[in-house]
Chains A and B, each alone.
Chain A
Amino acid sequence: MAGIFAFAESRDGELRKSAYEVVTAARKLADAMGTEVHAVALGSNGAGAAVGELARYGADKIFVGECDAFEKYSPEGFTLVIATFIKEHGCDAAVFPATVLGKDLAPRVAARLGVDYLSDATALEAEGGSVSITRPRYAGKVFAKSTVTDKPAVVSIRPNVFQPVENAKAGEVESLNVEMGNADFGAVVKEIMAAASEKLDVSEAPIVISGGRGLQSPDNFKLLEELADAFGGKAAVGASRAVVDAGWRPHGDQVGQTGKTVAPTLYIAVGISGAIQHLAGMRTSRFIVAINKDPEAPIFKVADYGIVGDLFQILPRMTEEVRKMMG
């Protein structure tokens, strides 16, 4: 009984939302394969305090590796600890979040284990003793399903797709020895700068409101920010490439083929035409709303609901109505 490895990402001593999604996905696989979920969380001393929560989502065992060197992400330290853990414990599958950190870490671990890796999975299934993985290719223009025979199957899962489901297990907490001593790493995270505001990231937010060239100027993005605020901290503001290239919004906000891929529950495209490269980054959103003055704009072809009209009239009204609704 080798188990399913689940990487629980944390930052500043708090688990990220992705950690619950990863454990949920791992739990489903473990149930199908008749095995256990072994979650691993790494962080600075004291970081383990929060991990008990993972039991509620199905972790049978929770391994916590704490050391000062892990206060920030240590690419090589994390790789070493996890590859060693997997070699020692063995596992059928290793599940990571397809976050910036997860996508950095998972391929390193896979290469070190000498196995392949698939990113951004939207479905995981047990097939016999193997894991079959469904994931987008060509920016979601097709989906590919393959059965991985490598042990372990190393995979990252797309944020917001595997909604956390409670399924409580024992969740025994054990500590991992991760003392790095004076390990000499070639790549070290020197500094982490928090964005000016404590806003949710577009790749993680359940609601994303994106603006395009129709906004006309960077200042007008405050209309989107006000609407996002009205949703009470659940919404993030994204952007099309046109406005990122114009320098109106930071690169990190760009949604699309050369930006972020997002799959929120609700995506609201405001003053965005819906170019194929933009759609590539948001077409798997659960619900799409388009606001555009041009009834022929291609964005309406993928939108569930649309309003045709001037965004400068529509947005203030919408913010007002949402505020009322949210009480």
Chain B
Amino acid sequence: MKSIVCVKRVPDTEARIRIAGDGGSIDPSGVKFVLNPYDEFAVEAALKHREGAGQGEVTVISVGDAASAETLRTALAMGADTAVLLKADRAPEGLAAARALAAEIREREYDLVLFGMKAIDDDLQAVGAMTAEILGIPVATAVTEFSVADGRVTAHREIEGGAEVIELRMPCAITLTKGAYEPRYASLKGIMAAKKKPLEEKPANVEGTGAPAMALSLPPERQAGRIVGQGPDAVPELLRLLRTEAKVI
């Protein structure tokens, strides 16, 4: 089975986000960048299925700047076989990202295309579904676990107040959320091996930057409120405040 996993380089979850001078982007200085956590689930899922089948190939693809090569190396160190960097001035988002990915994927042989459910920088939760739509292949989003048999994928996902089972005809796309695929750490051996694995670089097929210009602002700081009291005796006062001051109960 041939799997393609789309991965994005994003600021770490701990990163302090500051708005750059242009007001429309963030200041990357001092920010640590990582492989998008949801994409780790996708890489892990691809590796698990390769291991389960005892054969197969996992290719990771990223659209982004030169530094995204590092992110691809992380995925190679986890165990992916090959990587492709589609170079752009910066990682495109939304439809532009989907178009660039689809242009590359279309030229390849594959059974499965995996994505993270969302990139934690733009928080869009769209590129997987959009890429699949452009490729004209079925897709299931927000999947926690899936199995592969007889040219079909059976995927599980959680919905409000329950779960759904979706059956897909292959080739197909899946976007992954937290669930059955706890990402492995790259071993030292994996990190060494990753250095020798093929990483192809070529220009991305993107026009413009994708999304329209944005004006960024910081959310109003949440002010620390008040400590109503200590222990259970503070409960009546808390409820009184919630009812009369906050008016939420």
Contacts and interface: CB of A to CB of B under 8 A. Distances in A.
Nearest to B99: A111
11 contacts: A103-B142, A117-B95, A117-B130, A138-B15, A145-B217, A188-B168, A192-B163, A257-B37, A286-B246, A308-B229, A321-B235
B13 A303 contact: no
Given A136-B123, A259-B178, A266-B249, A148 B212 contact: yes
Contacts of B169: 186-187
B231 A189 contact: no
Interface of B: 11, 13-17, 19, 26, 37-38, 94-96, 98, 120-127, 129-130, 132-134, 137-142, 144, 154, 157-169, 172, 177-179, 210-219, 222, 224-232, 234-236, 238-239, 241-243, 246, 248-249
B215 A258 contact: no
A35 interface: no
Interface in A111-154: 111-112, 114-120, 135-149
A110 B98 CA distance: 12
B85 to A, nearest CB: 23
Contacts of B163: 192-193, 195, 252
Contacts of A148: 212
B231 A287 contact: no
Contacts of A176: none
Contact of A307 (B144, B165, B229): B229
B14 to A, nearest CB: 6
A143 B225 contact: no
A276 interface: yes
Contact of B225 (A203, A295, A303, A321): A303
Contacts of B241: 305
Interface residues of A, number: 96
3 closest cross-chain pairs (CB), A and B: A186-B138, A187-B138, A201-B160
A119 B242 contact: no
Contacts of A186: 137-138, 168-169, 172
A290 to B, nearest CB: 9
Contacts of A144: 214-216
Main secondary structure, interface of A, reads mixed
Contact of B162 (A76, A195, A310): A195
A251 interface: yes
Contacts of A257: 13, 37, 120
Contact of B234 (A112, A185, A309): A309
Nearest to B210: A116
A120 B228 CA distance: 33
Contact of A192 (B162, B211, B213): B162
A200 B160 CA distance: 8
Nearest to B124: A119
Contacts of A265: 248
Interface stretch (A25-33, A57-65, A312-320): A312-320
B138 A111 contact: no
A190 B169 CA distance: 13
Contact of B157 (A76, A100, A137, A321): A100
A73 B160 CA distance: 13
Contacts of A68: none
A188 B180 CA distance: 21
B101 to A, nearest CB: 12
B95 A116 contact: yes
Nearest to A206: B248
A191 B165 contact: yes
A89 interface: no
A190 B227 contact: no
A213 interface: no
Given A76-B138, A193-B162, A313-B231, A143 B219 contact: yes
Given A100-B157, A289-B238, 9 more contacts: A117-B124, A137-B123, A186-B137, A187-B138, A191-B165, A204-B160, A257-B13, A286-B248, A316-B232
